[in-house]
């Protein structure tokens, strides 16, 4: 690691203005949005840390590639470039483009999975869980014990509990498990990486039982970087070599190109299974598009072809992981409870520890996210009781860092806002639900403060 400040490894060629609002305006905007930050107009947000999904800045190389997009319906040159670039890293035989990650999930589970079956994962992401449950199967999370304790330090907190996987297979039977999934990095579990040793162990269990192993690969490049930093034997390998080795232990993957694809839209589904690929392409044609574009424009395929390669560049990954840790370490050094150690793409505030006076059924994560907006115009997202209706294990607030978008002074401002909210935390009220949809309710839910007087203080 260099000893000088780790700087943004880019300079800025095009700027996008952002806009301040007053506290009074934000109080009105929040009420109009029913205390759900998904329902806010983005123009009324100063620093948007809602998600790192599709919110990154593309490079000059990506914008140049966009102009090379071949918009032919079938057999487009852009598809070949996309497929070759993806295959060089992921190594799977079939690459099926989709409009984003959840479309890949829906097709994978729609084809492989049915009612009464069970899908193990280290931790299912919200859309992954919803797609498993939509076909009537059960989504089981098997992250290691350390993964359930936010303040505990562990280099690979995203690992799957291999013994728990073995006993699940013994209990429900191999025939009821169509596939095992590993999410790298483990998003809902705090952006925590999975070690190569764990991938190897899970792969060995799957092979022994003849169960396919799929990766939820959305943040594969960040996971590779953590393996390089933290796992013995990988310090001299490139992130690409590490990613290539990891994918060799599996049979396929789902991917959102809006994350480590460094694009604003897109995704893909990979498999080595010829028969499965045929069924997946049939379903793709029905709902996404022809298999050489899968719901994307040729220019999107070009941006992804360049983006997956850029995500593995060492200068980029060093800056990416260092800037996320910078935010986490700053607030943690003032006592703010966060998921330790800082993850790859985001810092997770532990809302139950931050707001011990608010019980989980009054949504401490949503309450904290609302207060960060009121205090400084920052948008974050709850990952907890609102998102996972049935028995969330933690209530977290995720501050996701868009790729190559904000500078260190933006992050310094975020630190100041969080510390101000931390100082006044006893005054933050819990919330109650006034409307919910039957699934993925956090996107559209309406809430109101338990104690309206406390919430509208100025
Ligand atoms: C974002 C994400 C998805 C879903 O991808 P979309 O492109 O948002 O549909 C699935 N799994 C993980 C781990 C993710 O981070």
407 and 425 fall within a common domain: yes
Count of positions (residues) in the chain:
458
Domain-terminating residue out of 310, 327, 351: 310
Residue 127 Cβ inside 6 Å of ligand 1? The answer reads yes
Q: Output DSSP code: residue 55.
A: -
Digit-coded pLDDT (tens) for 216-236: 999 999 999 999 999 999 999
Provide the token pair at 167: 């006993």
Share of the chain above pLDDT 90, in %: 90
346 and 451 fall within a common domain: yes
Count structural domains, the chain: 2
Residues 366 and 401 in one domain: yes
Regarding the beta carbon of 398 and ligand 1, being less than 6 Å apart is answered: no
Answer whether residue 12 is part of any domain.
no
Q: Is 218 in the pocket of ligand 1 (CB under 6 A)?
A: yes
| Atom 14 of ligand 1, residue of closest alpha carbon | 218
Q: Is the preceding peptide bond at 95 cis, omega within 30 degrees of 0?
A: no
Query: Of the candidates 268, 289, 310, which is a domain's last residue?
Result: 310
69 falls within a domain: yes
Q: Quick one: pLDDT band at residue 2, thresholds 50, 70, 90? A: low
- Closest ligand 1 atom, residue 188 Cα: 13
285 and 409 belong to one structural domain: no
Domain assignment present for 107: yes
pLDDT, position 141? 96
One domain for residues 231 and 84:
yes
**β-pairing verdict for 446-449 and 47-48:** unpaired
Cα 70 to middle of ligand 1, angstroms:
26
Please tell me the predicted confidence (pLDDT) of residue 96: 98
Residues 133 and 243 both lie in one domain: yes
Q: Could you tell me where the DSSP H helices lie in 263-396?
A: 274-287, 298-310, 314-332, 351-354, 364-376
Kindly state if the Cβ of 102 falls inside 6 Å of ligand 1: yes
- C-alpha distance from residue 418 to each of 45, 276, 380 (Å): 16, 48, 11
- 254 and 164, same structural domain? yes
Considering the domain architecture, whether residues 226 and 306 belong to the same structural domain is answered as yes
Ligand 1 geometric centre to CA of 221 (Å): 14
Ligand 1 pocket check for 183: Cβ under 6 Å = yes
183, part of any domain: yes
CB 150 within 8 A of CB 186: no
Q: What pTM does this model have?
A: 0.93
Note whether residue 339 is domain-resident.
yes
Q: Is residue 416 located within the same domain as residue 445?
A: yes
Residue 456 — pLDDT band, cuts 50, 70, 90?
very low
* Residue 285: CB atoms within 10 Å: 12
101 pocket-lining for ligand 1 (C-beta < 6 Å): yes
Mutate to test the pocket of ligand 1, among 104, 187, 214 (most ligand atoms within 8 A of CB): 187
CA of 217 to the centre of ligand 1 (A): 9
What's residue 218's pLDDT?
96
**Ligand 1 centre distance from Cα of residue 98 (Å):** 12
Residue with CA nearest ligand 1 atom 6 = 101
- Across 416-422, average pLDDT: 98
User: Domain holding 289: CATH number?
Assistant: 3.40.640.10
Say what the pLDDT of residue 189 is. 67
244 C-alpha to ligand 1 centroid (Å)? 21
Residue range(s) defining the domain that contains residue 341: 23-52+313-457
Sort 220 into a burial class: Cβ within 10 Å, 0-12 / 13-18 / 19+. Answer: buried
């Amino acid at each position: 690691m260099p000893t000088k400040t780790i700087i943004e490894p880019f300079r800025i060629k095009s700027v996008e203005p952002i806009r301040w609002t007053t506290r009074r305006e934000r109080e009105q905007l929040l009420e109009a949005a029913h205390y759900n930050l998904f329902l806010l107009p983005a123009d009324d947000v100063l620093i948007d840390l809602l998600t790192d999904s599709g919110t990154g800045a593309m490079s000059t190389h990506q914008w140049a590639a966009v102009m090379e997009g071949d918009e032919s319906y079938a057999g487009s040159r852009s598809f070949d470039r996309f497929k070759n670039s993806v295959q060089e890293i992921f190594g799977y035989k079939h690459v099926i483009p989709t409009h984003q990650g959840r479309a890949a999930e829906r097709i994978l589970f729609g084809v492989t999975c049915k009612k009464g079956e069970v899908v193990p994962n280290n931790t299912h992401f919200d859309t992954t869980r919803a797609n498993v449950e939509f076909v009537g199967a059960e989504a089981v999370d098997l992250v290691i014990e350390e993964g359930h304790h936010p303040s505990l330090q562990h280099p690979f907190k995203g690992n799957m509990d291999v013994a728990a996987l073995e006993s699940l297979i013994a209990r429900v039977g191999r025939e009821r498990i169509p596939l095992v999934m590993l999410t790298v990095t483990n998003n809902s579990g705090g952006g925590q990486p999975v070690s190569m040793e764990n991938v190897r162990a899970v792969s060995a269990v799957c092979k022994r039982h003849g169960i396919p192993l799929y990766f939820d690969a959305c943040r594969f490049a960040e996971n590779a970087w953590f393996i390089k930093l933290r796992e013995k034997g990988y310090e001299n390998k490139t992130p690409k070599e590490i990613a290539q080795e990891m994918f060799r232990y599996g049979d396929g993957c789902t991917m959102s190109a809006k994350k480590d694809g460094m694009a604003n839209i897109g995704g893909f589904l990979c498999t080595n299974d010829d028969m499965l690929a045929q069924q997946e392409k049939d379903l793709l044609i029905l709902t996404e598009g022809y298999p050489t574009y899968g719901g994307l424009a040729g220019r999107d395929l070009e941006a992804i072809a360049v983006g997956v390669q850029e995500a593995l560049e060492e200068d980029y990954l060093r800056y990416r992981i260092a800037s996320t840790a910078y935010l986490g370490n700053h607030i943690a050094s003032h006592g703010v409870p966060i998921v330790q150690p800082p993850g790859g793409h985001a810092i997770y505030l532990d809302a139950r520890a931050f707001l011990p006076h608010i019980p989980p059924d009054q949504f401490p994560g949503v309450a904290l996210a609302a207060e960060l907006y009121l205090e400084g115009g920052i948008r974050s997202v709850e990952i907890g009781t609102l998102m996972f209706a049935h028995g969330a294990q933690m209530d977290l607030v995720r501050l996701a860092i868009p790729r190559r978008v904000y500078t260190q002074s933006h992050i310094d401002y975020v630190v100041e806002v969080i510390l101000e909210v931390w100082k006044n935390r006893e005054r933050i009220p819990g919330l109650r639900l006034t409307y919910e949809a039957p699934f993925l309710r956090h996107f559209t839910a309406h809430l109101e403060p338990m104690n309206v007087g406390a919430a509208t203080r100025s």
